[in-house]
Amino acid sequence: MIKIVHLESGRHLYGGARQVQYLLQGLKACPGCRNELICPKGSQIMAGCRDAADRVHPLAMHGDLDPVLPLRLLRLLRRIRPDVVHVHSRRGADVWGGLAAKVLKIPAVVSRRVDDPESGLAVRSKYRLYRRVIAISKGIGRVLVSEGLDPGRLVCVPSAIDAREYRQQGDPEWFRSEFGIREGEQALGVIAQLIERKGHRHLLEALPEILARCPETRVLFFGQGPLQGPLQKKTREMGLEQVVRFCGFRPDLPEILPCLQLVVHPALREGLGVSLLQAAAAGVPIVASKTGGIPEVVRDGHNGLLVEPGDPAGLAGAAAALLKDPDLRREYGLKGREVVGRDFSIESMVSGNYAVYKDILAS
């Protein structure tokens, strides 16, 4: 029997937390594997993983500066006595979780889901607490190694999605009514938090050129974040209020995605991009930045087009080329589904993580 404790400090059931849910569900099928989850009290993941985990331990967590979190984790881990600790998130958990496991002499692994730069000192000190660092993309792995991580402790296990959720037929009539899209207009979607590194402003700067070539284009921003106000102001200043719509966070992406003609992801940095996996699984072609782990999902000239990050002219050219070519969009969409089914399945993600646990226990 292997007892694994998973530590996730995120409160919402999307992004990395959804990956934890997929992992826990998949590990239930592994013989001799018991999984327990430590997560914030009252969080969505606490409710969403009750059936997936053998036991859920709600804990007060208040981020990087929570001075009592290490003591809470020590007490809880001492009581559970797992064979392995798997830390899934940051916000203090990647430091305090690793330290608690180290003090108790429990082997630990940590998942790294973002390609944000860290100092060499932080990389060498923090990741020394872990037997393995699991990067969700090769792009993240390259960043970590460049900052001083020992390559021998690095493993790449890509994120996954349940592709079956996104293989449904869209309802164009509902879609047009829901988002104010007229017959004959083409919908371009961006699915990302409204934060600087997602690059929304570069798409706004590209829009005049896109509209000059494809005047029937309409843009839907799905997501929320601190830049909503500034982005709406820029939209008004550019006279694009009738073209760009801010749609907020939508839990019904499986119904929305099949109705989009194109997904654009103009990120400046990106660890992998789960929204890109979702779009590809739904058969939607993608235009995205050539940065981080994005090229591992969007293969240039295969299931989408890649441009340099922060390049409005490149975005405009690639987006317009696909909006004007329905046959190429269809071809890219079919190939995107193949990419997700082959390289980003939940089964592969679960087996990859499970192999890491067995490896560190065997060594």
Domains annotated on the chain, with CATH: 2-160+345-362 (3.40.50.2000), 163-343 (3.40.50.2000)
Distance CA 169, CA 186 (A): 17
State the pLDDT at residue 92: 64
Q: How confident is the model at residue 267 (pLDDT cuts 50, 70, 90)?
A: very high
For the segment 101-159, what is each residue's pLDDT rounded down to a tens digit?
999 999 999 999 988 888 878 788 889 999 999 999 999 999 999 999 999 999 999 99
For the segment 323-362, what is each residue's pLDDT rounded down to a tens digit?
999 999 999 999 999 999 999 999 999 999 999 999 999 9
Tokens 């080329």 sit on residue: 321
- Identify the burial level of 351 via C-beta atoms within 10 angstroms of its C-beta, where 0-12 means exposed, 13-18 middle and 19 or more buried: middle
State the pLDDT at residue 272: 93
**Per-residue DSSP letter, 106:** -
Distance CA 177, CA 207 (A): 23
Distance CA 63, CA 246 (A): 29
CB 306 within 8 A of CB 276: no
User: How many C-alpha atoms does 271 have within 13 Å on its Cβ side?
Assistant: 20
For the segment 35-93, what is each residue's pLDDT rounded down to a tens digit?
999 999 988 889 889 899 999 999 988 766 777 888 889 999 999 999 999 999 776 67
Distance CA 298, CA 144 (A): 22
CB 220 within 8 A of CB 253: no
Q: How far is CA 284 from CA 38, 88, 245, 330, in A?
A: 36, 29, 19, 8
Q: Is the dihedral of CA 311, 317, 322, 323 positive or negative?
A: positive
